[in-house]
Chains A and B, each alone.
Chain A
Amino acid sequence: MSRSTVLETVVGGLTVVAVQVPHFRSCVGVLSVPVGYGADPAGQEGTAHLTEHICVATAASRERVQMAARTEVSATRYSARATPGSSAALIAALTSTLGARPYPAELHETERRAVLTENARVRDQPQLQIAPAVAARVAPTLDLGLRDTTTETSIGAVTPSDIVDFRQRWYRPEGSVLCLVSPNDPDKLIAEVEAELAAVPPPTDPERAPGSRAPAEPFDVPGWSDCFIWAATTPAVTTPADLLARQLATELLTGRAGLLDEESSAVGTRSTGFATLPGRHADLLVTAWPSGPHCESLADGLRDRLPDVLSNGGGAAAVGRARARLRTRIAFEQQSPGGLASMLVRYALGQGAWPDIREIDAAADDRVVELAVRMLREASFWRIADSRLGEVAV
Chain B
Amino acid sequence: MVNARTTRRRELELPHAPALGWDLPEGHADDPPEAVGRAALVARYLAHALARDPATAGWMRRHRLTEHASQFSFWSPDARGERLAEAVSRIDPEPASALLQSLAAAQLAQARNQRANPVVTMFRAVETAAWGGSPEEALGDQETLANARGAELGNCLRRCLARARQIDPSTGTAPPAPAPDPGSWRGEMVLVDRPGEQCRVVLQFRLTEVIEDAASAAVLAQLLDGSDGLLYRRLRTEAGLVYGTVAVARDDGRPQTLTIGASLLRERLPATIDAIRRCVDEIDDGELPAEALGVAVGRVVDRVLTKLDEPFGALDDHRRRLNGQHSVAVVAEKASAAPDQLARVPRLSSRHRPAVAYIGPVDETVPELIGRMR
Bound Cα distance A82, B295 (Å): 12
Dominant SS at the B interface?
Answer: mixed
Does A155 sit within 8 A of B, measured CB to CB?
A: no
User: B242 contacts which of A25, A117, A329, A357 (Cβ < 8 Å)?
Assistant: A117
| In the complex, chain B residues whose CB is within 8 Å of the CB of A328 | 58-60, 76-77
State the Cβ distance, B5 to closest chain A Cβ, in Å. Answer: 6
Q: By the criterion CB–CB under 8 Å, are A25 and B308 in contact?
A: yes
Does A136 sit within 8 A of B, measured CB to CB?
A: no
Q: By the criterion CB–CB under 8 Å, are B5 and A2 in contact?
A: no
Does B264 sit within 8 A of A, measured CB to CB?
A: yes
Say whether, besides A66-B302, A82-B302, A329-B60, A120 and B310 are in contact (CB < 8 Å).
Answer: no
Bound Cα distance A23, B242 (Å): 40
| In the complex, chain A residues whose CB is within 8 Å of the CB of B191 | none
State the Cβ distance, A158 to closest chain B Cβ, in Å. Answer: 16
| In the complex, chain B residues whose CB is within 8 Å of the CB of A394 | none
Say whether, besides A194-B1, A270-B106, A114 and B236 are in contact (CB < 8 Å).
Answer: yes
Among the 9-residue stretches A210-218, A306-314, A333-341, A366-374, the one with 4 or more Cβ atoms under 8 Å from chain B is: A333-341
| In the complex, chain B residues whose CB is within 8 Å of the CB of A121 | 118, 198, 243-244, 263
Bound Cα distance A86, B8 (Å): 25
State the Cβ distance, B111 to closest chain A Cβ, in Å. Answer: 12
Among the 9-residue stretches B12-20, B31-39, B342-350, the one with 4 or more Cβ atoms under 8 Å from chain A is: B12-20
Q: By the criterion CB–CB under 8 Å, are B12 and A356 in contact?
A: yes
Does A157 sit within 8 A of B, measured CB to CB?
A: no
Bound Cα distance A10, B2 (Å): 10
Identify the closest chain B residue to A339 (Cβ): B311
Say whether, besides A57-B227, A117-B243, A26 and B306 are in contact (CB < 8 Å).
Answer: yes
Q: By the criterion CB–CB under 8 Å, are A1 and B16 in contact?
A: yes
Q: By the criterion CB–CB under 8 Å, are A125 and B58 in contact?
A: no
Bound Cα distance A64, B296 (Å): 9
| In the complex, chain B residues whose CB is within 8 Å of the CB of A83 | 298, 301-302, 305
Q: By the criterion CB–CB under 8 Å, are B11 and A4 in contact?
A: yes
User: A9 contacts which of B7, B117, B118, B197 (Cβ < 8 Å)?
Assistant: B7
Does A293 sit within 8 A of B, measured CB to CB?
A: no
Q: By the criterion CB–CB under 8 Å, are A23 and B16 in contact?
A: yes
Does B109 sit within 8 A of A, measured CB to CB?
A: yes
State the Cβ distance, B143 to closest chain A Cβ, in Å. Answer: 19
| In the complex, chain B residues whose CB is within 8 Å of the CB of A8 | 7-10
Bound Cα distance A194, B1 (Å): 10
Q: By the criterion CB–CB under 8 Å, are A332 and B6 in contact?
A: no
Bound Cα distance A19, B11 (Å): 9
Q: By the criterion CB–CB under 8 Å, are B102 and A268 in contact?
A: yes
Q: By the criterion CB–CB under 8 Å, are A66 and B198 in contact?
A: no
| In the complex, chain B residues whose CB is within 8 Å of the CB of A335 | 15-16, 75, 309-311
Bound Cα distance A25, B310 (Å): 10
Q: By the criterion CB–CB under 8 Å, are B311 and A66 in contact?
A: no
| In the complex, chain B residues whose CB is within 8 Å of the CB of A117 | 198, 242-244, 263-265
Q: By the criterion CB–CB under 8 Å, are B9 and A7 in contact?
A: yes
The residue in B14, B237, B302 that gathers the most chain A C-beta atoms within 10 A of its C-beta is: B14
State the Cβ distance, B358 to closest chain A Cβ, in Å. Answer: 15
Identify the closest chain B residue to A270 (Cβ): B106
Residue-wise interface mask of A (76-90) relative to B, using a CB-CB cutoff of 8 A (1 in contact, 0 not): 000001110010000
Identify the closest chain B residue to A330 (Cβ): B15
4 other contacts beyond A3-B14, A83-B305, A337-B309, with CB at 8 A cut-off?
A: A124-B198, A257-B51, A270-B109, A335-B15
A selection of 8 A-B contacts at a CB cut-off of 8 Å is A1-B13, A3-B14, A4-B14, A7-B7, A86-B302, A114-B236, A290-B109, A328-B77
